[in-house]
Structure 1
């Protein structure tokens, strides 16, 4: 297990700033076709030689080159899956750090489980299928697809997106574990979500599992995975790709040890594991603007003494380093 300290913060910040000089992040907003639902809204970041400028998207402002030309060839692709009620912009700083380092990044807005529509938030097994559709789009339909190396695809997921990532790389959850866990820990977020919806999570069908696993994904970063206990003890035995796993030590949403720790113990290969002191669940989200903090304080407030900006300098550099090594061209 690894923890982050002040020295690592400063080293990572230096790396992040150095990496930022290599490229500018181009950005496109678009949609991926989904034969089984409405088109999937996506944000795409990529290396570009175009000049960046501040662009406001709701309460979020990014310095990007909107529709700038794509720079590079045979670039790795990383998919991003957000948490329950999130947005494709929730990890924009991580996406920009990856683009600055030479990656193409596609973040999806999950249908029925986003900030504007949570009507299908408990239908968590539909998320991996949506990721497959986005990969299809990026490799076959996106206008910049010629620059992507289809053999170098990675995935990043946070919270419900962490569950999604595990399912996409071969994880098979056992949903029969949910009811007993929720009886014992009714305050857990997933248990509250289920209670509020009045729904039960149906066991994943064989076809849902088959539609989830995507062998094109060769490496994964998983942060604070939802329903981590559902993969214990052997639901991750088929995972063959390298995994970087993150846990916030003061996560009150997904408390230790039922989530990230359960995943760590179930993975057949030891993950690159990081526990972040004093961090809360939402500290994996990009640092909030004052505008976002004013309308969504629960996801923007960190514990006293925790510097989310400094943490993200280190976090993003560590994620970039992992994907750079795991998706190295052969």
Structure 2
């Protein structure tokens, strides 16, 4: 069961999830799934990524008469996760003229598909959800040092995905441009906070990680997957490329996308990269959610720190849940091989956490992105 608490004074007393969340409504739609490859005007080649385009998965509502087909998530012949049944390239439902749009951002070394559980649940309730694999930092190809280190650049990916979906001939005309939000997990949670207007204090984060108080957020396990050039000189500020130095210089810029009207951040990371001034320009609804047993993005230095800097944000904590419970549910054949991301703490039901988290997101966006006349 979830524990929900609002950071506002009026909601300072913790409420049990059963009292705070209504039962899930039955899905109104089936789920369609489409792939797009967006080519932004600003190249990502300086990140060293093998694929510089924005390879994007889009989930969207489809008429219930169209039969969904079961599928799993992962490379062909090597599936990792259970996938929600979907219809590939089916027509968008004609039940409504316009649908709200959510841009989705995955965590370090992950993929948009690793959040299929959430995107599908949102699509079944009438949302178009679009998530790209961030170049240089995804599960589909070797991770690069720039893709791993220059987190603020991910917000530009998300904004370019919004551009691409809005220009898409099938989907763009049916997007309600007054009802656009963002949802992200882990480093993706940080990314969507940037879209809301948060500013990064890179020197503060580097001081934190070089000091005695440094914790697990300074050494994410995915760092071991960074592809290193064996002939490259040791990494120092002096050996950074001009493009990397230029990116670091703009780390503290605002990446606010005014089209984004609400943000739902799951297990948001890099809390120590924010300070008392970081959220001065954030004036849209924010909902934060994480597991109480998260040791990968420790709660004190991440979600609780962010919540303290965002007193109007709502906060939901999941008892017993660790960081990777918010990835898709693993297939039995990979459970032992990928135990770090697949096995949850005793008593934690990943599918139940997914269902309740999805309902929390649905309820949040229903309020934060109300339909016309609502």
TM-score (norm 2): 0.80
Shift of 1:292: 4.5
Q: Secondary structure at the match of 1:26?
A: strand
Q: How does 1:1-330 map to 2 (within 5 A)?
A: 2=5, 7=18, 14-15=23-24, 18-20=25-27, 22-35=28-41, 36-37=43-44, 38-49=52-63, 50-58=66-74, 59=79, 60=81, 61-71=83-93, 72-115=96-139, 116-119=141-144, 120-182=147-209, 183-191=211-219, 198=235, 204-206=248-250, 209-210=253-254, 212-267=255-310, 269-330=311-372
Larger Rg: 2
Tell me the alpha carbon deviations over residues 158-189 of structure 1, each in whole angstroms, 9 at most, x when there is no partner: 11101111111100011111222112244423
Shift of 1:272: 1.5
Structure 1: which 5+ residue stretches go unaligned?
none
Tell me the alpha carbon deviations over residues 305-324 of structure 1, each in whole angstroms, 9 at most, x when there is no partner: 11111111111111111111
Aligned mates of 1:67, 1:264 — CA distance in 2: 39
Aligned mates of 1:279, 1:247 — CA distance in 2: 8
Aligned mates of 1:150, 1:266 — CA distance in 2: 29
Task: Identify, as 1 or 2, the structure richer in helix.
Answer: 1
Shift of 1:207: 8.4
Q: Between Structure 1 and Structure 2, how many residues are aligned?
A: 323
Residues 299, 194 of structure 1: alpha-carbon distance in 2 compared, 3 angstrom cutoff: closer
Query: Quick check: 1:122–1:193 contact (8 Å CA) kept in 2?
Result: no
Query: Quick check: 2:102–2:183 contact (8 Å CA) kept in 1?
Result: yes
Aligned mates of 1:109, 1:4 — CA distance in 2: 36
Aligned mates of 2:218, 2:295 — CA distance in 1: 12
Shift of 1:291: 4.0
Aligned mates of 2:56, 2:223 — CA distance in 1: 30
Residues 292, 248 of structure 1: alpha-carbon distance in 2 compared, 3 angstrom cutoff: same
TM-score (norm 1): 0.90
Aligned mates of 1:218, 1:165 — CA distance in 2: 11
Q: Secondary structure at the match of 2:109?
A: coil
Shift of 1:205: 3.6
Q: Secondary structure at the match of 1:117?
A: coil
Shift of 1:33: 1.7
